[in-house]
A and B are shown apart, each in its own frame.
Chain A
Amino acid sequence: MTDATPQRATEPGVARDGPARRGRGGDEGEGMDYLVSLPRRVVTVYLPLLVFLFVLLFPFYWMVITTFKSNEELYDFKDFSPFWVVHPTLHNLHKLFFETHYPIWLWNTMVVSVVATFLSLFCAVCAGYAIERLRFKGSRLVGMAIFLAYLVPPSILFIPLSTMVFSYGLFDSKFALILTYPTFLIPFCTWLLMGYFRSIPYELEECALIDGATRLQILVKIILPLAVPGLISAGIFAFTLSWNEFIYALTFISSTTNKTVPVGVVTELVEGDVYHWGSLMAGALMGSLPVAVLYSFFVEYYVSSMTGAVKE
């Protein structure tokens, strides 16, 4: 492993202890000391990580190279290696953006995801705060009930929901999705935020109460600013779930111009048994980029909300 050397150089503790321990014949080191010797580190850390990375990233890689392949290259395994691109082309992207409704699907997905996310976050903040901090009778029960609602699988829930969507006249409109996505987003966000609110010391609220704040002021001026990492990670989750949602979008939307990316790509780029692989992969790639970008911006908040609590 060539990358092991610079890594050890940046960790003086490891670099300093390493030879000394080995000098003492030191396989008897304690704790994580077994990571000191390079071969062991390769076997226990880097190799599993590499396998893991390969499994995770290979589909993404496949998606990228297929996007830039021409059809001849794509279907000819004898003259072209399937693992890289020889003559990259933008043909698939061009077809996707100019010969299908893909830009409209992207816009639809964006609108539905953003609105559903904010709607769900608002409800989840109110619900989570009330359940966690207002200590009303039956608050635990309500919390459990919300969680149970999350356990009902969408593949069952879409049947009664579709009846409701029809009777409200929402079928084949963005509202059909904006109003049904919260059925799974709110329970999820509520539970995530409940855990986060719990980590905020109670004294802060009591102190604010004595300082003269109302409940609403406490929520807005004390709790929400402190819960920003939790809000961001709940937001990312909600956004991702809405962005990738398939069943409701497939059921409640019929016209091409109202479709979202996941549904549009699958229904419009597969004609009978003909798969337009190039455009399909281009659609999938373009569809997954916004989420990837979103994650990369907020990854620190996201991690801190999963691992840390509020510190004074």
Chain B
Amino acid sequence: MAAVDIVGVRKAFGATEVIHGVDIAIADGQFVVLVGPSGCGKSTLLRMLAGLESITDGTISIDGKVVNLVPPKERDIAMVFQNYALYPHMSVFDNMGFSLKLRGAPKAEIDRRVKEAAAILDLDRLLERFPRQLSGGQRQRVAMGRAIVRDPKVFLFDEPLSNLDAKLRVAMRTEIRALHQRLRSTTVYVTHDQIEAMTMADKIVVMHDGRVEQIGEPLELYDRPDNLFVAGFIGSPAMNFLPGRIEAGAGPRFVSDGGVSLPLVAPPGGVGSGIDGRPVVLGVRPEHLHLADEGAAAEVLVVEPTGSEIQVFTKLGGADVMAVFRERHRFRPGDRIRVAPLPGQIHLFDAESGRRLVP
């Protein structure tokens, strides 16, 4: 186990820079999830950590030692690939024991460690099988077993669940999380699925276009997103955004471009002076909208009950706004309802920079 430090790391393929200076500190034993849309550079960063891509600038250190020029096999890391990368011509046992065999470990030790890992992952009965004879979930477990056997300093996961069906994905999510709680090993996990990130991570790193947008604990990102990108990316269904401006006065209000006017409940002291007329984007999560007589009028477009809640798509002052209710309202398309954000549950972002404005 070890801490991992990524400092000012850049990556360029030819003249195209894809990672523009990334700093991430990962503590010993932490489960960190790199999340972002495809092409944001998260996988490239993971591959640089693994030693499969060179580092253009900056440093990566594992356990206090800079590993920029250290080949993968000397970094003491284990990686689980998206398509598992099991060796098709080797049995499960040989797949799991391959790294130990290469290191020249005695046969008895290979046997013991493979069986230990197989017991943890419930693979005991599959050791003689070949990868083609396994189901997707079993392959996934073998890939993890291969990593566990090595007892590495750092575990790396590259979208390991994206090839599984939805139900299995949820089950494996829990399994990986439970495994981490048991082994307490430093883990870096790459995914594009923000639900995976939210449910598994100790710490989430949101990446976008080769930059880190925000680093924090899952709920911190959910409650206080630093910018519009994080606000829109974290949370499902996604946050609603209403562009508009602030009107200062006795009670400062937010007035959207579509004419919706909402009181800013929180004291606007932090917003700073000169806020009057400032263009902003107001963000409010669907679950933070409630029915209120004093709220803004919205027209119901589509109603989607999921069982535990009802998702209602509405038109609010010209903008598409979604609301989620846990109560079983019987709305019909065309109904007019009045909704308002819960007190203290709105987010204000600067319209130009996208940065969060306090509160």
Taking beta carbons and an 8 Å cutoff, which residues of A are in contact with B?
Answer: 201, 203-204, 206-213, 217, 222, 225-226, 310-312
Known A203-B81, A209-B73, A211-B99; judge A311-B89 contact (CB<8 A). no
Q: How many A-B residue pairs have CB under 8 A?
A: 61
CA–CA, A209 and B79, complex, Å: 10
Known A212-B102, A213-B102; judge A204-B73 contact (CB<8 A). no
B residues less than 8 Å from A209 (CB atoms):
51-52, 71-73
CB B299 to nearest CB in A, in angstroms, measures 47
A residues less than 8 Å from B81 (CB atoms):
203, 206-207
B residues less than 8 Å from A311 (CB atoms):
88, 132
Chain A minimum-CB-distance residue to B82:
A203
CB B67 to nearest CB in A, in angstroms, measures 13
- Asked if B33 is an interface residue, CB under 8 A from chain A, the answer is no
Contact across chains for A226 and B88 when beta carbons are under 8 A apart: yes
- Asked if B87 is an interface residue, CB under 8 A from chain A, the answer is yes
Contact across chains for B84 and A312 when beta carbons are under 8 A apart: yes
Contact-residue size bin, chain B (C-beta under 8 Å from the other chain): 20 to 34
B residues less than 8 Å from A225 (CB atoms):
89
**0/1 interface trace, chain B 21-63, chain A, CB 8 Å (1 if under):** 0000000000000000000000000000011100000000000
- Asked if B103 is an interface residue, CB under 8 A from chain A, the answer is yes
Known A203-B83, A204-B85, A312-B86; judge A210-B50 contact (CB<8 A). yes
Contact across chains for A310 and B85 when beta carbons are under 8 A apart: no
Taking beta carbons and an 8 Å cutoff, which residues of B are in contact with A?
Answer: 50-52, 71-73, 75, 77-79, 81-89, 98-99, 102-103, 131-132, 139, 146, 150
CA–CA, A217 and B99, complex, Å: 12
Chain B minimum-CB-distance residue to A205:
B85
B residues less than 8 Å from A206 (CB atoms):
50, 52, 72, 79, 81, 85
CA–CA, A225 and B131, complex, Å: 15
Contact across chains for A210 and B132 when beta carbons are under 8 A apart: no
Q: Ordered nearest first, which 9 A-B pairs have the shortest CB separation?
A: A203-B85, A211-B99, A212-B73, A207-B85, A212-B102, A225-B89, A210-B72, A203-B81, A209-B72
CB B239 to nearest CB in A, in angstroms, measures 36
Contact across chains for A212 and B86 when beta carbons are under 8 A apart: no
CA–CA, A222 and B83, complex, Å: 17
CA–CA, A212 and B104, complex, Å: 11
CA–CA, A310 and B85, complex, Å: 12
CB B276 to nearest CB in A, in angstroms, measures 57
A residues less than 8 Å from B89 (CB atoms):
225-226
Enumerate 7 A-B pairs (CB-CB under 8 Å) in ascending A order.
A210-B51, A210-B52, A210-B72, A210-B75, A211-B73, A226-B88, A312-B131
Contact across chains for A210 and B73 when beta carbons are under 8 A apart: yes
A residues less than 8 Å from B71 (CB atoms):
209
CB A137 to nearest CB in B, in angstroms, measures 13
Contact across chains for A217 and B84 when beta carbons are under 8 A apart: no
Q: Which of A201, A213, A217 contacts B85 (CB 8 A)?
A: A201
CA–CA, A72 and B203, complex, Å: 94
Contact across chains for B83 and A212 when beta carbons are under 8 A apart: no
CB A280 to nearest CB in B, in angstroms, measures 46
Most buried by A among B85, B99, B150: B85
Contact across chains for B132 and A312 when beta carbons are under 8 A apart: yes
CA–CA, A222 and B132, complex, Å: 16
Q: A206-B79, A209-B52 are in contact. List 12 more A-B contacts (CB 8 A).
A: A204-B85, A204-B87, A206-B52, A209-B51, A210-B50, A210-B79, A211-B98, A211-B99, A211-B102, A211-B146, A212-B102, A212-B103
Contact across chains for A213 and B131 when beta carbons are under 8 A apart: no
CA–CA, A211 and B105, complex, Å: 13
B residues less than 8 Å from A203 (CB atoms):
81-83, 85
B residues less than 8 Å from A226 (CB atoms):
88-89
CA–CA, A311 and B134, complex, Å: 13
B residues less than 8 Å from A211 (CB atoms):
73, 98-99, 102, 146, 150
Chain A minimum-CB-distance residue to B89:
A225
Contact across chains for B78 and A210 when beta carbons are under 8 A apart: yes
B residues less than 8 Å from A207 (CB atoms):
79, 81, 85, 87
CB A220 to nearest CB in B, in angstroms, measures 12
CA–CA, A210 and B81, complex, Å: 11
Contact across chains for B83 and A201 when beta carbons are under 8 A apart: yes
CA–CA, A222 and B101, complex, Å: 14
Chain B minimum-CB-distance residue to A222:
B87
CB A214 to nearest CB in B, in angstroms, measures 8
CB A228 to nearest CB in B, in angstroms, measures 9
CB B60 to nearest CB in A, in angstroms, measures 15
Most buried by B among A208, A211, A212, A312: A211
Contact across chains for A217 and B102 when beta carbons are under 8 A apart: yes
A residues less than 8 Å from B83 (CB atoms):
201, 203, 312
Chain A minimum-CB-distance residue to B52:
A206
CA–CA, A312 and B82, complex, Å: 13
CA–CA, A210 and B139, complex, Å: 18
A residues less than 8 Å from B75 (CB atoms):
210
CB B104 to nearest CB in A, in angstroms, measures 10
Chain A minimum-CB-distance residue to B149:
A211
CA–CA, A209 and B70, complex, Å: 12
CA–CA, A209 and B99, complex, Å: 10
CA–CA, A206 and B50, complex, Å: 10
Chain B minimum-CB-distance residue to A212:
B73
CA–CA, A212 and B85, complex, Å: 15
CA–CA, A208 and B88, complex, Å: 13
CA–CA, A180 and B88, complex, Å: 37
A residues less than 8 Å from B98 (CB atoms):
208, 211
Chain A minimum-CB-distance residue to B84:
A312
CB A105 to nearest CB in B, in angstroms, measures 40
